[in-house]
Amino acid sequence: MADGSPDAKLDPGYVRLLKKNAELGFKTVAYIRTIHQTRPIAEVKAAMAKFIELYGADKIHGFYFDEISSRNNGATAYMAELYNYTKNTYGNKLVVANPGTHITDAIAPYADIFMTNEGTADEYINNYKTAYSAFEKDPANSHRIFHTIYAAKASDYQKIINLSRQRNAGWVFITTDSTIPDGRPYNDLAKNFPSLVDSVNNLGRQPLDPNRATEQPLLSGAIISGSSVTTTILSQ
């Protein structure tokens, strides 16, 4: 995984990957932990700058901030500072935030896309907790809501996709991979991936730029689960 620490060095493997992504029109976002907004914000900003320094502003299209909480004013203020800093410093780079669960309306303005679900297919189908914010309940915000579902069965794909749209998630990633044996459910693409892609895209694509209210010209794989995976995550 690429390194955004202060002493990080250029990774030739990622240089090749980013070049290929650019050729294919794919967007690349850099992964940065916030440790539930307890990590010193200066460290987070330094990691952002390091990615840009090493790989170029033209190759890094945004930042994926992980371990986000929205449950208190301090956490919301932290995310607000990161969001505004990103836009003021790096132009309109994409800001993706992953709380992995529902958010409050207070934090809703401070990311372009929120991952408001990260869990198993069984949880998603049988034990989903209803969103409580006006933001998530509004279908107009579907282009800013992203659900990730792992440990899925191929026979449940259509059910999960339909549920994701009913729950206003315009972006969805589904995989049959699970946390067994290594605790990481994102090592492998889903089984029958091409047909899964078609099923997702048949329900309509999302705007290339989540900041825009209307659909724009789209890349061939603009959906996260697209025929070509469009988002590469580099680790801080």
**Which overall architecture, per CATH, does domain 12-235 show?**
Alpha-Beta Barrel (3.20)
What's the burial of 16, exposed, middle or buried (CB within 10 Å: 0-12/13-18/19+)?
exposed
The answer on pLDDT for 2 being more than 70 is no
- Which range, 11-15, 17-21, 123-127, is most confident? 123-127
pLDDT digits (tens, 9 = 90+) for 42-80: 999 999 999 999 999 999 999 999 999 988 899 999 999
Q: End-to-end distance of the chain based on CA atoms, in angstroms?
A: 8
